[in-house]
Chain A
């Protein structure tokens, strides 16, 4: 969706502010927000792409003003409500919810949630191929940033088949697709106005077409 989270290349957010000796959390509520979001994620009532979609769906001003963990809390509340998990009669027992036990935390974190999948889908591109990012404007979640759409690039690396975020967010379907790192020149993206020599992004095959201009 073309919302404010997709901010690559925008101006107007003010100066960068760095903090010396920054603590991991600035307030007790941030600690709690972080922990309840991870613990609820472990119950698998939604996947990571659905969580991202919920954050991106927040009203623009809310997204900009809530701060990082504020966005997490807004999205967590909306996902809990949407799934009926805050209704008076809902509880872990009645729903058969799998709860992350304290003694399972370490292993769960060390394992993570890899997104690479085995499959017989053959990648259409290989490193060195010239590609063009598709012009697309879905109203639902995508990881194809606006600043790359329609741009020419070169496939730099192939990463195997990975869970496709667009369908994963929409229906929960993993639909693994070839994932590539695609390299763009700063000039192709920004004309004479940028100062990046090269910018790369990780893009699924569905976001790409073979370039009409071969290098």
Chain B
């Protein structure tokens, strides 16, 4: 097969729904299946819209960013997060599907944490939303457990040898949220300003937070 990327990136084509080109095979298949399931009464069309709306516009990494910012500024919340992340996160209103059992893992100068699911693409939906394409890619799933430093370098992250890299493979229903280190020079910042610094990748472990 050579070194060419596997065709997974086919999902990266742009949205052509409004163009007049003919529908592709997968588009026809999904449309037909959806109509059939609605006709049979198995799924309600408004339910489908609500599911899409929830993950496209409501749930996302802004949830996780608020959890991180609060952990940085509120030691009792940070303690709660360490002891029972599911309950701590639920106290902020985030819970449920693909985040039923949460664990927060804190980065320190001595340890950097990276999350992967080698067997599928398990990801903490209530705090990060749906995973990006690279997280679901075979390249990331295969390499993160064996060559994490090289993977991190492709994200522009060069960790010193003195920082240990720990990889968390999400093989069960435990979902991991990385708590990145708080950047220097942010004392006295508001919760919202701090949350604004925290990007999605820093909560998976492929980035750090900087000012």
Contacts and interface: CB of A to CB of B under 8 A. Distances in A.
Contacts of A202: 169-172, 174
A16 B134 contact: yes
B21 interface: no
B5 A15 contact: yes
A187 to B, nearest CB: 12
A31 interface: yes
A94 B47 CA distance: 21
Contacts of B16: 27
A62 to B, nearest CB: 11
A196 B41 contact: no
Contact of B164 (A34, A40, A111, A198): A198
Contacts of A145: 118-119, 169, 171
Contact of A77 (B33, B56, B138, B142): B33
Interface residues of A, number: 92
B6 A97 contact: no
A43 interface: yes
A121 interface: no
Q: How many residues of B sit at the interface, in one of the four size bands?
A: 35 or more
B80 interface: no
Given A5-B119, A12-B1, A22-B133, A195 B98 contact: no
Given A39-B48, A196-B145, 16 more contacts: A13-B5, A24-B56, A32-B48, A36-B43, A52-B119, A65-B6, A65-B8, A93-B41, A100-B44, A102-B46, A108-B97, A114-B101, A145-B119, A162-B172, A179-B174, A196-B166
Interface of A: 5-19, 22-36, 38-40, 43, 52, 55, 64-65, 67-70, 73, 76-77, 85-86, 90-93, 97, 99-102, 105-106, 108-116, 143-145, 147, 157, 159, 162-163, 165, 179, 181, 189-190, 193-204
Interface of B: 1, 3-17, 24, 26-27, 29-31, 33-34, 36-37, 39-44, 46-52, 54-56, 60, 95-101, 103, 118-121, 126, 129-130, 132-134, 136-143, 145-151, 154-155, 164-174
